[in-house]
Structure 1
Amino acid sequence: LGFNNSEAIIIGLCLMFSSTIIGIKLLPTTVLHHRHSGELMVGILLIQDFIAILVLLAIESLGKGSTDFLTMLTPLIMLPILVGITFAAVKYVVLRLMARFDRFHEYMFLLAIGWCLGIGELAHLLGLSYEIGAFIAGISLASSPISQFIALNLKPLRDFFLILFFFTLGAQLNIVVLSEVWIPVLILTATVLLGKPVIFRFLLRRLSESNRLAWDIGFRLGQISEFSLLVTFLAQDAALMSERSAVLVQSTAIATFALSSYIIVFNFQNPIAVSDKLRRD
């Protein structure tokens, strides 16, 4: 489509991920927590998130103006250190504080936010990104009994910032540049919407999953991800992507978010289905 090698590789990486927001928001809660399909879906998304962290680390290293071995190695050393500090702090400090003051909902709310922001800042000090720190902070609490309580109490805050996230995405979209890349946008959007369900169906069938489940998971993951947008933002800051290629990814993300959501809502079980037959909370 006329992009240079580095841009083409990054665009390809961006198309690799699927949206955690759409996948989880349009999955019925009963399926998410109590069925094999929910476990499979979350497992795939978690693996993608870990791969996204490695991609973000690589882009950060390349964006520092030096591609020597030490520059590439430093984030890979710092990531295990951050993970070790985080999980140790959860085990010996955070969970004990939560167990002692779990009656005070305001305290739990502030502790969760402080934990997220604190680990994000620690990641930044270690040479990683805030996003990686926040993600690891969430994973460190995911297996604790208090995780569901935190998730429910932070839901209004999450939805609020989710709105701001998409607002910012729209505000940064350069309409003038979009007019130059609308044909590649259509091609990539069609490729993602048609290709991902087929590929996931093929792979899941090879793992002995049922044909119906394979198609269901395939269509639910048939879009690109919020992580794709983070990758483009970091790559653009690191001068690894032009505005033209960044707009291409952003526009493809918006198009696949919208069209994939409609496909799921009208054809698969979800909490906001128009049909009573498909609506599952």
Structure 2
Amino acid sequence: MHDATPLIATIVGGLVLAFIFGAIAHRLRLPVLAGYLVAGVVAGPFTPGWVADAHIAQELADLGVILLMFGVGLHFSLKDLLSVKAISVPGAAVQMAVATGLGMLLGWLLDWPLAQGFVFGLALSVASTVVLLRAMEERRLLDSDRGRIAVGWLIVEDLAMVLALVLLPAIGGFLGTEKGGSSATMGALLETVAWTVGKVVVFVALMLIVGKRAIPWTLQAISASGSRELFRLAVLAIALGIAFGAAHLFDVSFELGAFFAGMMMGESKLSQRAAEETLPLRDAFAVLFFVSIGMLFNPGILLEHPWIVLAACLIIIVGKSVAAFAIVRAFGRPAKTALTIATSLAQIGEFSFILAGLGVSQGLLSEQARDVLLAAAIVSILVNPLLFAALDRWIARHDSDAPEDHPDAIAGHTVLVGYGRVGRRVFDELHAVGARTLVIESDEDAVRELRRKDIAEIVIGNAAAAPVLAEANLAGARALIVAVPDPFEGGQIVRAARALRPDLPIVARAHSVECVAHLDGLGASDVIYGEQELAHSMFEAAQPRRGSPAH
């Protein structure tokens, strides 16, 4: 048997450990990403036993971030990006300035050099793409106003980090020079800024002029060949190829290049299929991202400098959040939106690590400060799901957009969970027969569409949460229809509903025989298997009509 190469060992070890500790975390009712982080600590160099290759793990994690940003770009049009520029651009700039200033203040209190305090504060100011987008996807918020603002905010931070990584050596020199040498350094700094911005502008222009036409055309041509394998390969080649080219030709980050590749591919009618083809890879590499973070963590820093770690955590979780909340509210957005953005940004991740690594290599950041940064990142990532859970409960109780008539007064109604492609059709059928319907939905655009129709009661939130289901008055409901596409999310809803009312008729949708068994085991009364229903309909359509000649 051949010895495993570092690449194979890292992939296999990372995924196996992530599965084991993720399952344990889920069993203990903790966020599964906590298990992924622990898996990374176990596989890292600071704990006994097997040690994975940290460099390879980081590169695999980078692939996960690229694919994730590509997937976001597929669902995010240029119109969406421009629609939130008025709040995302100044909001991200002010929030990053506040976090950087707080980091520099902490550095000043610790007698750090000015350059070190600046780099440390800048690293605290930028949120993790993976953590934020996973939280948004779990709550189906990416297509909502809150999701668009958060993604726009991320893009601005990404662009700022592109500049920061290029300018860091010059910035360090400027902050560390004597007064007499400042003018020359400032001139070089401005020249570097202009050159970097120019390359970013050229890249964006190429994507908008050439990519907007070439990428959908290529996808359409490959689809016409009829080969699913080639189509999947084309999607990955476009996503990774543009990300790589953007980084090496224009000094744009991999993430930003992948986002624009996805956004241009989103102009194609095949964008939904492209998203489905890349989903398994995105999920697998996202797991490796969290494992790679855990590998960087040195638990000893919590014993050596606990108060510095605590101060850094407070800047990330409290300082950034308060700044973001105040900014969003200042733009006249509701408290729900402000709290969502604030919670989304209350963590740091991949760009912080890249910046810290460059800072150490340039002599601008000490290894102690880097270890504090990594510890604070781990803590903030672990705390973030708990903050989102608290936010979900707050929204369920205090949503200012909720209808004035409380749903508890409804009786004999049908509860429909999910107003997507299938949910809309189910709703129309229910409305056609005059059935009173209550819809549970978390997507703001879908809620606005329902409000315009003014023919349904609405509960806003995640139906898997007991308080949200309680608002739907299941005790007086005639039936529950679970129309969400994700079988795991659907299973959570079925289980929660069955616990609230054992005799309630529950109808759910499934995409496979395994999903049917899964939902049936959790208490669904009827599970509609799409392929089975389609096969039955095709069989019925192929039967000779009464009165038609037999062949």
Say which structure, 1 or 2, has more relative contact order (CA 8 Å, 6+ apart).
Answer: 1
Which residue of structure 1 lines up, in the alignment, with residue 153 of structure 2? 44
Deviation at 1:264, TM superposition (A): 0.8
Structure 1 counterpart of 2:330, one-letter code: R
Q: Mapping of 1:155-234 within 5 angstroms? A: 155-234=279-358
Deviation at 1:255, TM superposition (A): 0.5
What is the alpha-carbon distance in structure 2 between the residues aligned to residue 264 and residue 47 of structure 1? 23
1:94 aligned to 2:204?
no
Which residue of structure 2 lines up, in the alignment, with residue 106 of structure 1? 229
Which residue of structure 2 lines up, in the alignment, with residue 9 of structure 1? 118
- Computing the radius of gyration from Cα coordinates, the structure with the larger value is 2
Q: Mapping of 1:55-74 within 5 angstroms? A: 55-59=164-168, 68=188, 73-74=194-195
1:54 aligned to 2:163?
yes
Deviation at 1:90, TM superposition (A): 1.9
Of Structure 1 and Structure 2, which has the larger fraction of its residues in strand?
2
Of Structure 1 and Structure 2, which has the larger fraction of its residues in helix?
1
Structure 1 counterpart of 2:466, one-letter code: D
For structure 2, list consecutive stretches of 5 or more residues without a partner in the other structure.
Answer: 1-109, 174-184, 394-441, 443-460, 470-483, 490-551
TM-score (norm 1): 0.81
Match of 1:153 among 266, 271, 277: 277
What is the alpha-carbon distance in structure 1 between the residues aligned to residue 310 and residue 234 of structure 2? 44
Deviation at 1:136, TM superposition (A): 1.6
What is the alpha-carbon distance in structure 2 between the residues aligned to residue 186 and residue 91 of structure 1? 46
Indicate conservation of the 8 Å contact 1:185/1:251, yes or no.
yes
Match of 1:277 among 467, 470, 487: 467
Indicate conservation of the 8 Å contact 1:119/1:134, yes or no.
no
Structure 2 counterpart of 1:10, one-letter code: V
Indicate conservation of the 8 Å contact 1:265/1:272, yes or no.
no
Indicate conservation of the 8 Å contact 1:26/1:272, yes or no.
no
Which residue of structure 2 lines up, in the alignment, with residue 268 of structure 1? 392
Structure 2 counterpart of 1:7, one-letter code: Q
1:38-73 per-residue CA deviation (whole Å, 9 max, x = no partner) reads 332222222222222222232376699xx6456555
Indicate conservation of the 8 Å contact 2:243/2:261, yes or no.
no
TM-score (norm 2): 0.44
Indicate conservation of the 8 Å contact 2:239/2:261, yes or no.
no
How many equivalent pairs are there?
277
What is the alpha-carbon distance in structure 2 between the residues aligned to residue 108 and residue 240 of structure 1? 46
Deviation at 1:150, TM superposition (A): 2.9
* Alpha-carbon RMSD: 3.3
Which residue of structure 2 lines up, in the alignment, with residue 116 of structure 1? 239
For structure 1, list consecutive stretches of 5 or more residues without a partner in the other structure.
Answer: none
